[in-house]
Amino acid sequence: MEDTAARFDSARTAATLREVARASAGLVVLDPGLPDAVMDGWPVPVPEEIRVLLRSVAGVRITVSRSALNGHESVEHVDLAHPYNVADAGAGWYLDHAGGAGTHWFVHTDTGDGHDYVDVDPATGSWGAVFRFWDATDTVRLAPSLPVWLDALTGCLRGALEETVAGTAVPSGPEGAAAVRAFGNRFAEAWAALDEHPTDVGTVTAAQAGAGPDPLLREAAAGLPADALLADLRPVHGPARVVFDHPVSCRYARHAGGAVLIATAWDGE
């Protein structure tokens, strides 16, 4: 397993985000950090290495387009206090799809119905890998931790800014709209490319895993229905994609910080 110290450098991640925001000519704006009292009220434990980040930055707002006619802007929002993390925000289905409240933390949703979330171990409070799911039965592990995922986001922002606005003020009117559009397009291309070619990972049933030689898979399979499916992500470095062969939807779970991804058949109710 990857060393925890290597996976988390939240203070550096927050500092790098602030650098990029300062150089963005207003196209990248950070949400203010959160007090501990707010995080204490969340339905998941929040370890200190994550608190270091969230005390400084609670989200990233990225302006990706601007109308030349009326100045209206479209914003991509990476929200580290995403409203989908509570069921009364109308997100009960998504909470259950990702494994149930207290087992994960949503950080981003996109217009393509992708939902990005961090695995959370409710027993230890550890925050693990970042995953994305859609409404179907395929899912992608995006990064080994939230800071690593945000570092990748920061790299995409920095590259897009350098290639387009280059730190200069963005004018109003059609010229400014074109500059914002160029930045938004370049950022979207770079961010999409991060998981454009994930490694496909196969699955085994819980019955197979429970009877197999691997102790971690046996442990992960314990108590699962025999037809639940498990994907071992340990051999894969970088983005990993799993398509679970369930006839309907599935309910995800994760084991050992996201080293094993689990899906059980679920009717969505």
Q: At 3, is the pLDDT very low, low, confident or very high (cuts 50, 70, 90)?
A: very low
**119 belongs to a structural domain:** no
**Shortest CA distance to 265 belongs to which of 137, 138, 94?**
137
Q: Are both 21 and 54 inside the same structural domain?
A: yes
**130 belongs to a structural domain:** no
Q: What's the pTM value of the predicted model, to 2 decimals?
A: 0.91
Q: Are both 13 and 81 inside the same structural domain?
A: yes
Q: Are both 189 and 203 inside the same structural domain?
A: no
Q: Are both 159 and 208 inside the same structural domain?
A: no
Q: Are both 167 and 245 inside the same structural domain?
A: no
**189 belongs to a structural domain:** yes
pLDDT tens string 100-127: 999 999 999 987 788 999 999 988 999 9
Q: Are both 58 and 165 inside the same structural domain?
A: yes
Residues of 37-57 as b/e, b for ≥16 C-beta within 10 angstroms? Answer: eebeebebbbbebbbbbbbbb
The proportion of the chain whose per-residue pLDDT surpasses 90, expressed as a percent, equals: 74
The proportion of the chain whose per-residue pLDDT surpasses 70, expressed as a percent, equals: 96
pLDDT tens string 125-134: 999 999 999 8
Q: What is the mean pLDDT of residues 243-268?
A: 89
Q: How do strand 229-232 and strand 240-243 relate by DSSP bridges?
A: unpaired
Domain total of the chain = 2
Q: Are both 157 and 247 inside the same structural domain?
A: no
Residue at token pair 């109710």: 269
The CA distance from 148 to 212, in Å, is: 32
Domain that holds residue 28: 4-99+146-193
Which domain-ending residue is among 129, 163, 193? Answer: 193
Q: Are both 180 and 210 inside the same structural domain?
A: no
Our CA angle for 37, 6, 12, nearest 5°, is: 55
